Structure 1
């Protein structure tokens, strides 16, 4: 999954379309790197940064609804 925010891409597109020469001579990377992170990777990074164990949990829709309502 790409972690590039739509807002960031929209800002880059607006700049490229409205500012003369804004991206002239550049080939800027506008999306995530070739190795993208999945949620398990994000949990691992957050665990390392915070020193706490963070685990990816997968729930089906009904489980999630029950948990949120509770």
Structure 2
């Protein structure tokens, strides 16, 4: 069974009570761009990750999936 891919941006949008539309307006990007980020169709740039984190008022590390396996 393939490992399930989670999208931290989408999770943080939901956890902060925001929406894709809100984030798109906040960042001055299209809703299509945010949708692509949330479905892993396209990845944001590093600069965009910092802008997303600032808009959502979260640490940028919360938008990333750890590459280390926890034991």
- TM-score band, normalised by shorter chain: under 0.3
Q: Which has the larger radius of gyration?
A: 1
Q: TM-score, normalised by structure 1?
A: 0.24
Structure with the larger helix share: 2
